[in-house]
């Protein structure tokens, strides 16, 4: 074979290889363009095509209202169905007339409630949409009156943060760094028969009694203690995630804890972890500054910090069902003094009376609530 012919064959081979490479790259480029195009279309479908036309975010209603839900579609697309939820509870599914449905809120809790839609498209893609609404209580709180049954002495140096009655004695938690304590108090004299001082760096807060144990929380340290009820000996300490500890009570199954806001937290006994949360509202709006708590016959009684009222809360709904103004028993000269506010509720289930006191109050009242 001549050298010229050999060179010609070599050149042809190089040309074929070059053309083959160009063809492969061209296929890859076209394939990449198709993938990009499909991905872009999918992303477009997934991007908030549906939104709530009504209700508006955090729009206010009253428990029991029928809330009309209207959806807005940003562009035409084939929809298979729309599923509606309220607070993760299923409401209904629409396979036509997707834009409008409704939710009857009569069994809902007060506070923030969440409406949700899940939109299913014919290509198996779906889109979630969520919007919060606020529900006020549909109950006007009943106003209760009371009679003072007895007055007892109380330690005027006690910055009362928690109060519980048990078997003829008052158990009291006091606050302020360097002055915080846990006490078992003789009601007749106001003198502690047992007293345990807390670490000077801690600020004592609410207490409860359960299963012959006393649970005590602290203000900002996020630690609490469990004591033997009879000896006040420390059994163990525990930690919790809630930023501030204020009031504490129990229904015998779980703990209720306040943090000075409008929230009451549901806590388990074993690990002190949060199980849930109650928002507290009346018929006018949110009720904040919830402080000392006492569970009484299925309801939570709560002091409002800086107020002379005690509110009565339904723990199942967060609705305030009643209230009682104790301004007539506030010691003279204490009105308006935030260091000497009403703060102490203890229930005597033997006669359904309440023991009431406050921070630095020199007196403990025993009262009887009328028509409760």
CA-wise closest residue to 343 among 276, 273, 289: 289
Q: Is the dihedral of CA 250, 256, 258, 261 positive or negative?
A: negative
Domains of the chain: 50-136 (2.60.40.10), 142-369 (2.120.10.30)
Tokens 């198996």 locate to: 124
Residue 90, classed as helix, strand or coil, is: strand
Which positions of the chain have pLDDT values less than 50?
1-9, 11-12, 14-46
Beta carbons of 49 and 120 less than 8 angstroms apart: no
Q: Are 164 and 208 within 8 A, CB to CB?
A: yes
pLDDT at 242: 96
Beta-bridge partners for 92: 84
- Can you read off the two tokens belonging to residue 323? 């209230």
Q: Which string of DSSP letters, residue by residue, matches 283-323? A: SSSB---EEEEEEETTEEEEEETT-SEEEEE-TTT-BEEEE
Q: How many CB atoms lie within 10 A of CB 203?
A: 22
Longest dimension (CA), the chain: 129
Cα 272 to Cα 282: distance, rounded to the nearest angstrom: 28
Identify the residue whose tokens are 């003198």. Answer: 191
- 3-class secondary-structure state, position 107: coil
Q: How far apart are CA 363 and CA 190, in angstroms?
A: 9
Q: Are 146 and 103 within 8 A, CB to CB? A: no
Is the CB of residue 262 less than 8 Å from the CB of residue 290? yes
Check: CB of residue 170 under 8 Å from CB of residue 163.
yes
User: What pLDDT does 13 receive?
Assistant: 52
Q: Measure the CA–CA gap between 284 and 138, rounded to whole angstroms.
A: 9
């Amino acid at each position: 074979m001549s050298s010229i012919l050999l060179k010609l064959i070599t050149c042809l081979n190089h040309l074929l290889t070059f053309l083959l490479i160009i063809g492969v790259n061209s296929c890859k480029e076209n394939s990449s363009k198709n993938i990009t195009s499909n991905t872009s279309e999918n992303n477009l479908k997934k991007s908030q095509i549906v939104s709530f036309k009504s209700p508006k975010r955090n729009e206010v209603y009253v428990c029991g209202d029928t809330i009309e839900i209207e959806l807005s579609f940003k562009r035409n697309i084939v929809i298979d169905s729309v599923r509606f939820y309220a607070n993760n509870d299923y409401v209904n599914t629409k396979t036509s007339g997707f834009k409008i449905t409704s939710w009857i809120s009569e069994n809902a809790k007060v506070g923030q409630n969440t409406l949700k839609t899940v939109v299913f498209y014919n290509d198996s893609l779906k889109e979630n949409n969520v919007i919060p609404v606020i529900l006020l209580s549909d109950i006007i709180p009943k106003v209760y009156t009371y009679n003072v049954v007895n007055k007892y002495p109380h330690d005027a140096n006690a910055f009362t943060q928690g109060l519980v009655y048990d078997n003829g004695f008052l158990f009291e938690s006091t606050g302020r760094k360097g002055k915080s304590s846990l006490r078992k108090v003789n009601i007749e004299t106001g003198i502690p028969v047992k007293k345990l001082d807390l670490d000077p760096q801690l600020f004592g807060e609410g207490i409860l009694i359960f299963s012959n144990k006393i649970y005590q929380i602290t203000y900002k340290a996020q630690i609490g203690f469990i004591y033997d009820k009879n000896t006040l000996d420390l059994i163990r300490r525990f930690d919790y995630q809630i930023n501030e500890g204020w009031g504490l009570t129990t229904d015998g199954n779980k703990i209720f804890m306040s943090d000075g806001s409008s929230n009451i937290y549901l806590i388990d006994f074993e690990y002190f972890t949060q199980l849930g949360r109650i928002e507290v509202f009346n018929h006018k709006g949110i009720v904040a500054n919830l402080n000392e708590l006492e569970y009484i016959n299925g309801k939570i009684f709560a002091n409002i910090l800086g107020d002379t009222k005690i509110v009565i809360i339904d723990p199942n709904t967060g609705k305030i069902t009643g209230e009682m103004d104790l301004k007539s028993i506030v010691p003279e000269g204490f009105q308006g003094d935030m260091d000497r506010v009403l703060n102490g509720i203890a229930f005597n289930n033997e006669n359904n009376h309440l023991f009431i006191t406050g921070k630095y109050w020199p007196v403990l009242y025993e009262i009887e609530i009328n028509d409760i």
